[in-house]
Amino acid sequence: MSNAPRELKASVDVSFGSKGNNLNALSLEQQPWPKTGGILTIDQLALIHGWVVSDHWDELEIEYFSQCAMEKDGSFNTVVYVFTNDPEYELVTSNGTLDPEKQIVTLTREDSPLIELGISLDFPYKVKSLLSATWQGKVWNKSGQVIDPPAVTMTTDNRLIWKEPVYGTIRYSITVEAFAHTLNVTLIPGSVDNKYATNVLAFQKGVVVGLDITEPDNLNGCLGNSSVVIDNKTPKPDPNPDLSNEPVPVVFEFFDYCTGAKITPKTLYVDSDAVTTLGVQPIYLTPGLHRLRVTADGYKDSDADDIENDEFTITVKIIGKSP
């Protein structure tokens, strides 16, 4: 028997990656906004359609606001996705209204995560189907040697796995199921910045997750185009009227170009004369062309914006005039 010291050896099992996600995990996402172009004005839309503004005002407003995902009341709609296997949860919002009715939708998710000596990849939600999973570029083993990309398979516990720990990038495409809720986000009254700041919270069996709602890219384009205008809903005058030279009573009303909200102007000038009886009693103007200038707090002066409302014509048609 040898008296040489014996060499002691120990083995330790080391796992790479996690042991799989809880398939009932709770997470939230917002439906991405589509890419959009510039915002056409109502006059530009009317020109494209060949519409008279007064005759098709509602249609033009709807199309104008739809360019920036805005409703006529200044709100916008978006969709919140809830990822969970358990349909029992509570969803609340800090601003606006959530539709309590949820719909089950199937979504496609694609990504290219970096793998650093991992032998598996977990997903944050239950996978309905694996469409594809391939390695992008080269793959290295733990010694830094380039190797053939290992085969990737999908397990029943929601993971992608391969035979040895590697460095590399894997590209996957999967389908997942989610509960979808429509959220109507409203303009916060009196706000100056972050006018639509909204958060959504989901509660489920002691777990709470949150989501910051993003605005559509073009939303501020509509808000930025707000200007004082004369109410274009009034019908256009008869192009061939019988005119009278007698002054007629005129009442002015002013509206936000984007939201349609009624506005109280700061000053009103008609033909360079200040009008001091706004909203109290009409002023009397003779038929013909008149110049208009309006100022209001928070808006460009009417003669400084790009809306054609600096002139108006008063016409009077005499009905039943004696011969």
User: pLDDT for 193-223, tens place per residue?
Assistant: 888 999 999 999 999 999 999 988 777 666 6
Q: Which of 26-30, 55-59, 186-190 has the lowest mean pLDDT?
A: 55-59
Question: What distance in Å separates the CA atoms of residue 95 and residue 184, rounded to the nearest whole number?
Answer: 9
Residues facing 182 on adjacent strands = 79
Same domain membership, residue 241 and residue 149? no
End-to-end C-alpha distance for the chain, whole angstroms:
143
Report if residue 46 sits inside a domain.
Answer: yes
Report if residue 50 sits inside a domain.
Answer: yes
pLDDT (average), residues 15-22: 37
Report if residue 249 sits inside a domain.
Answer: yes
pLDDT (average), residues 286-295: 77
pLDDT (average), residues 75-100: 92
Token output for 152: 């990737």
Report if residue 184 sits inside a domain.
Answer: yes
pLDDT of 251 above 50: yes
Structural domains of the chain, count: 3
Same domain membership, residue 90 and residue 198? yes
Residues facing 274 on adjacent strands = 269
Containing H/E element for 180?
A: strand 159-185
Question: What distance in Å separates the CA atoms of residue 75 and residue 187, rounded to the nearest whole number?
Answer: 6
For the entire predicted model, the pTM comes to 0.56
pLDDT of residue 186: 92
- 216-248 pLDDT per residue, tens: 877 766 665 433 343 444 444 444 545 556 677
pLDDT of 320 above 90: no
Q: Which of 5-9, 180-184, 246-250, 314-318 has the lowest mean pLDDT?
A: 5-9
pLDDT of residue 12: 33
Same domain membership, residue 186 and residue 88? yes
- 134-188 pLDDT per residue, tens: 999 999 999 999 999 999 999 988 899 999 999 999 999 999 999 999 999 998 8
pLDDT of residue 165: 95
pLDDT of 18 above 80: no
pLDDT of 288 above 90: no
Picking from 138, 158, 173, the residue at the C-terminal end of a domain is: 173
Can you give the residue range of the structural domain that contains 164?
109-173
Residue 309's pLDDT band, with cuts at 50, 70 and 90, is low
